[in-house]
Amino acid sequence: MSSLPVPSHIHYELLLQLLERQTLPALHNEMKQPHLTIKMNASREHLQTAIINLRKAFALQKQVEDTCKYHGIQVSYRWSLSESEQEMGKSLKEISSPPKDA
């Protein structure tokens, strides 16, 4: 194996920011309705558990990355399931290359 494929850190950050900045506040607003309070409390607890688990998963991935780097194993950050190292390299070249029309 030339490198270990792992999710890009931005995936965790995006999920956490979405849940913390948008989902939690929206759920809090729904909880203001008296007939939904009890049902929404359970949902809020599940959501907070999901946030905690995402933070733990991110921390564990970082530990795996550190261990791999310590042992000389390269880490390859992936943006999607179908992305290969060649595709990633090619797309990065395309992004960083100046336009040919200029």
Q: What is the pTM of this model?
A: 0.69
pLDDT tens sequence across 13-48: 999 999 999 999 998 887 777 777 777 788 889 999
Residue 30 DSSP SS3: helix
pLDDT tens sequence across 44-101: 899 999 999 999 999 999 999 999 999 999 999 998 888 665 555 554 554 445 555 5
Residue with tokens 């070249």: 93
**Are the CB atoms for 58 and 9 separated by under 8 Å?**
yes
Q: Which two tokens stand for residue 95?
A: 């992004």
